[in-house]
Amino acid sequence: MRVNNKSFVQILVFLLFIGLSIGANAADQKVVQVIAINTNGNTGAYLESVKELFAYQKELAPEVETRVYLAGLSGTTTGTIYVIVKYPNMVYMANTFTSFKADEKWKLMRAGLAQKTGRKIISNSILYDVTP
């Protein structure tokens, strides 16, 4: 299932309100976005291509930390790339998404990455820290 930007922002806002209804501190919970990517065998090209995107991401959202993981021994998902984007809290994440959505350079870079590397997004999840 592919989620467009508008739907993703709507889901994000919904999750933010759920978090706020759970408790006042819920909005302060650390949040990660986990994006599973099929590079169609172009993992090297993908890793090389995301460097510029991640550098620009850091300019737009300095508190965001992004890491890329490769699934090793993981059954049918072996070879899948996982991009883990860490946000300090839900509010920062919502503001970041709004900023990215409005930024033309960001949109062009993401579209170019998809075209250049042939990558396909398998899933895109938001997880928030509930560690007691």
- What per-residue confidence (pLDDT) applies to 26? 58
3-class state of residue 75 by DSSP? helix
18-44: per-residue pLDDT in tens? 555 445 565 778 899 999 999 988 899
- What per-residue confidence (pLDDT) applies to 42? 87
Question: 32 is written with which tokens?
Answer: 């990660």
In the DSSP assignment, the letter for residue 19 is H
Per CATH, which fold does 5-128 belong to?
A: Alpha-Beta Plaits (3.30.70)
- What per-residue confidence (pLDDT) applies to 129? 83
What span, in angstroms and rounded, lies between the C-alpha atoms of 79 and 41?
8
Domain coordinates in residue numbering, the chain: 5-128
Whether the per-residue pLDDT at 62 is higher than 60: the answer is: yes
Residue with tokens 């860490």: 86
Sheet of strand 31-38: strand arrangement: 65-70, 81-87, 31-38, 120-128
Average pLDDT of the chain to the nearest whole number: 84
pLDDT-derived band at 16 (thresholds 50, 70, 90) equals: low
Whether the per-residue pLDDT at 7 is higher than 80: the answer is: no
95: left (phi over 0), alpha (psi -120 to 50) or beta: alpha
